[in-house]
Amino acid sequence: MPFFTIITATYNAAATLPRLLDSLSEQTCRDFELIIQDGASTDDTVAVAESYRDKLPALSLASEPDTGIYDAWNKALGRIRGAWVLFLGADDRLAAADVLENVVAALDAQPTENADGLLFASGGVAVTTAADIPLRYIPSRTIGAVRSLRAAAMPVPFPGLFVRSSLLTLHRFDASLRIAGDYEFLCQTWREDSQSLRLPFLVTNMTTGGLSSQQAYAAFGVKETIDAADRHYGNAWTPKRRRDYRLTRILSALYTFLPHSAPWIHNALRRIRNKSSLPVWQRRHAEPLPLFSPKQVPIFIISFNRLVCLHRLINWLEENGLTNIIIVDNASTYPPLLEYLDSLPYRVVRLPENKGHLAVWQCGLFSDILDHQYFVVTDPDVLPDEACPEDAILCFYNQLMAYPPITKCGFSLRLDDIPFEYPLREPVLEMEGRYWQSPLPDGSGFFAPIDTTFALYRPGIKPDEPRWFKGIRLAPPYVARHLPWYELTADDESRFYTNCIKTQSSFWSAADNATLKKENLALRAKINELEHQVDLLSKSLKNQAVMLCYNSLRSLKKKIFHEKH
């Protein structure tokens, strides 16, 4: 019995089917069968499929009329032999030659007690042009999947979802549906988040242009989805959803009869409703995104007399294949750190003076990168959580594509495990907790300012611009720890560091009481400075995250320094 079954439904797909078949024939894992269910094509689809039998010996092909993709999938289910099933379109392709090999490794790595209960394994999907140029990246989020289903939303991209075959012996797709049959199937079968494994890598490149991606058919998809949610969970047709559906019907008509003007009208309606512009991948003539590879993104680490933190961060980056590292050292003097910097295989730029938390910009040495590339900037003492998936950079990029006004996206900072003994615990919770209070519509993160917490920046972002403050922090599992919050005893390194410390962007780095008192004064000055900047900024921006930052700064200052109202 093969480990995987790949199912694809075809109809007159002779021109696009080789894209899928070539990607399957290149797989390093050969433990799979391919079932092609053709809908009685009138072109050369069957002949194209037959020509791949030498490359794909476990190919099963049938051609007969069907009523649509879900009817074709149901017909194919009678022939499956694999333990896990993946449904792909005839113009999709697996994202890399080792995708199936990586899925096997991820499933094999699960403890027996967990593996037995797994019904789904979900990876990311890249929406691409026919030339494989990405238009959008869709990461997989299995946490909260059932909640998403109840909210009439697709929790994971279906072309990246492996389904245990035992489910498919008991459940079928609703062949009467045109667009939402995959959503309805998950409503039948996905009962607990724990039934799924999140695969932290791209599984499929999905070509745009299917019915579900076309605005002209959006109303069909919305109605089918909400009807399915209503059947399975009840009370899905809320007044708001009815209003939204009526608007979607109007938009679908616009895209059908006025295809060239519809995006402009659509954007105007979004502005009236105080929403951001239509994302590029939803426009009729979507522009391809710049080619983006997380492993090629420059990672700037601002270093100053912190060895242990830097070493831990670099280890994490290396483990996740992020090795385009540039260390910008702020004139450190700690001898063990200097020795470590000398031993690294990465680019190390030693500044003649301490430029502070904006050293990457203020040193003037990296304009070629900052003006033209996406890049990451972080302090060395921000360490991604051990449960953080390896596709964090890709998820940051996805949010920047979804929200054009946002200039950077990064990790949220963990607050739930800060030791009670940490002297500044309450001020930290007061200030940092505000950054968890303005969620994105899909719950994937929060609108919140970011300083030098680990974040991905757009090209051309400068600290003196008002838009500098417009950021997103992702929700768990994309969180990091600010390591100084966990240092309760001073060692030689921390004592050396606190003797050298100056006012910096992060207020929470000192470890001894005398320095903490000194930093309180610096904190007050910093808050005054930020209040002034945000006060000016708030006159021209409507971003709620900016106002949250503004109010939290004022509240924190009053709490710490007992100012009168």
Per domain, the residue ranges of the chain are 4-237, 242-280, 299-517
Alpha-carbon span 342 to 344, nearest angstrom = 6
Per-residue pLDDT, 147:
87
Check residue 291 and report its DSSP letter: P
Radius of gyration of the chain (CA): 26
Q: At what angle do helices 218-233 and 239-257 cross, to 10 degrees?
A: 160
Per-residue pLDDT, 458:
93
Per-residue pLDDT, 209:
60
306 near 337, Cβ under 8 Å?
A: yes
Q: What is the pTM assigned to this prediction?
A: 0.67
Nearest to 446 by CA among 475, 404, 485: 475
Which secondary-structure segment (H or E) carries 19?
helix 17-25
In residues, how long is the chain?
565
Question: What torsion, rounded to 10 degrees, do the Cα atoms 8, 13, 19, 23 define?
Answer: 20
Per-residue pLDDT, 274:
56
Tell me the backbone φ, ψ of residue 229, rounded to 5 degrees. Answer: -60, -35
**In CATH terms, are 4-237 and 299-517 the same topology?**
yes
Alpha-carbon span 130 to 206, nearest angstrom = 9
Other beta carbons within 10 Å of 238: 12
Nearest to 257 by CA among 220, 215, 293, 224: 215
443 near 397, Cβ under 8 Å?
A: no
Per-residue pLDDT, 255:
75
Provide the CATH number for the domain formed by 299-517 in this structure.
3.90.550
- Ranges of residues in the chain with a pLDDT under 50 are 280-288, 502-508, 511-514, 516-518, 521, 524, 534, 536-542, 561-565
Per-residue pLDDT, 134:
73
Per-residue pLDDT, 265:
73
442 near 347, Cβ under 8 Å?
A: no
Structure token digits, residue 267:
């954007």
Nearest to 434 by CA among 387, 486, 473: 473
Per-residue pLDDT, 297:
94
Q: At what angle do helices 218-233 and 181-189 cross, to 10 degrees?
A: 20
Alpha-carbon span 259 to 263, nearest angstrom = 8
User: How crowded is the C-beta side of 411, counted as CA atoms within 13 Å?
Assistant: 28
Instruction: Tell me if the domain spanning 4-237 has CATH number 3.90.550.10.
Output: yes
Per-residue pLDDT, 540:
43
Cis-peptide, bond into residue 335, ω within 30° of zero: no
Per-residue pLDDT, 514:
45
165 near 79, Cβ under 8 Å?
A: no
Nearest to 294 by CA among 327, 315, 317, 326: 317
